């Protein structure tokens, strides 16, 4: 579970996103981050028994910084309003697909996949989907996957208008070949964050997306 004080800190940060306030409440930030880090470590320890590729990880390798990169952004607020962890083999900077837990009051979610891979990896993934369409279709239509995620995300910003060059327009996998990211997420309401069942729910969500993670990583490795 996530402690109420952690959620409260993020809510207050959202309302006071400036360095003077943050410096004044740094101890609260450190306690909140430690709480989140401990939860992510418990997830790694529990799910690492199912997916050995993440078992050696420690939470610090997976957590993103709270500071925003504002160099090229019109939004100059210095801090993110969330805690996030990308649990990938090799850590958050790995090229491989992995699992994700996003903590943000009113916008928390769990899931995974691969976000905007480089061209070489993108080409490999599309080729694998095309070559192994029956297998891929079985993964994303599996009962557990459908129950938790419904389908892969297909927001306009991660979807090409047309089927990529080299693939027929009527390719049965066209919908998924057009994707630039292959991710699936399930929302978590604020009330659920403080429940003792959060760890179990997260592990179940990771289990449902694990076949997709393995498929994507197999493509990248080939």
Angle CA 45–51–56, to nearest 5? 50
- Split at pLDDT 50, 70, 90, the class of 73 is confident
Supply 153's token pair: 């995300």
pLDDT at residue number 72:
74
- Split at pLDDT 50, 70, 90, the class of 18 is very high
Give the mean pLDDT of 17-36. Answer: 97
* Coil, helix or strand at residue 74: coil
pLDDT at residue number 91:
82
pLDDT at residue number 205:
98
Phi/psi for 195 (5° steps) reads -85, 150
Angle CA 153–141–161, to nearest 5? 35
- Split at pLDDT 50, 70, 90, the class of 75 is confident
Supply 84's token pair: 């996030």
pLDDT at residue number 62:
94
pLDDT above 80 (res 70): no
pLDDT at residue number 76:
81
Ramachandran quadrant class, 62 (left: phi over 0; alpha: psi -120 to 50; beta: rest): alpha
pLDDT above 80 (res 71): no
pLDDT at residue number 13:
97
Give the mean pLDDT of 172-195. Answer: 97
Domain ranges of the chain: 4-221
pLDDT at residue number 44:
97
Supply 192's token pair: 């659920």
- Split at pLDDT 50, 70, 90, the class of 74 is confident
For 7, 101, 112, the CA distances from 194, given in Å and listed in that order, are 9, 15, 22
For 122, 124, 125, 218, the CA distances from 128, given in Å and listed in that order, are 10, 6, 5, 9
Give the mean pLDDT of 204-216. Answer: 98
pLDDT, tens digit, 9 for 90 and up, residues 76-107: 889 999 999 999 988 888 899 999 999 999 99
> Beta strands of the chain (E only): which ranges?
83-88, 98-103, 108-114, 182-188
The length of the chain, given as a count of residues: 222
In whole angstroms, give the CA distance from residue 205 to residue 165.
Answer: 34
> Beta strands of 41-139 (E only): which ranges?
83-88, 98-103, 108-114
Are the C-beta atoms of 53 and 206 separated by less than 8 Å? no
């Amino acid at each position: 579970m996530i402690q109420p004080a952690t959620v409260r800190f993020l809510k207050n940060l959202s309302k006071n996103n400036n360095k003077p306030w943050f410096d004044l409440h740094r101890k609260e930030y450190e306690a909140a981050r430690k709480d989140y880090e401990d939860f992510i470590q418990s997830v790694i320890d529990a799910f690492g028994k199912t997916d050995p590729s993440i078992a050696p990880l420690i939470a610090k390798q997976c957590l993103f910084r709270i500071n925003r990169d504002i160099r090229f952004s019109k939004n100059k607020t210095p801090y993110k309003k969330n805690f996030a962890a990308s649990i990938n083999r090799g850590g958050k900077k790995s090229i491989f697909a992995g699992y994700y837990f996003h903590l943000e009051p009113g916008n928390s979610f769990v899931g995974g996949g691969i976000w905007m891979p480089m061209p070489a990896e993108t080409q490999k993934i599309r080729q694998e989907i095309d070559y192994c369409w029956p297998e891929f279709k079985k993964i994303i239509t599996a009962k557990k996957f459908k129950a938790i995620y419904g389908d892969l995300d297909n927001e306009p910003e991660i979807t090409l208008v047309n089927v990529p060059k080299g693939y027929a327009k009527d390719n049965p996998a066209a919908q998924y070949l057009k994707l630039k990211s292959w991710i699936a997420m399930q929302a978590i309401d604020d009330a659920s964050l403080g429940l003792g069942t959060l760890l179990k729910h997260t592990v179940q969500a990771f289990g449902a997306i694990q076949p997709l993670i393995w498929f994507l990583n197999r493509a990248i490795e080939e």
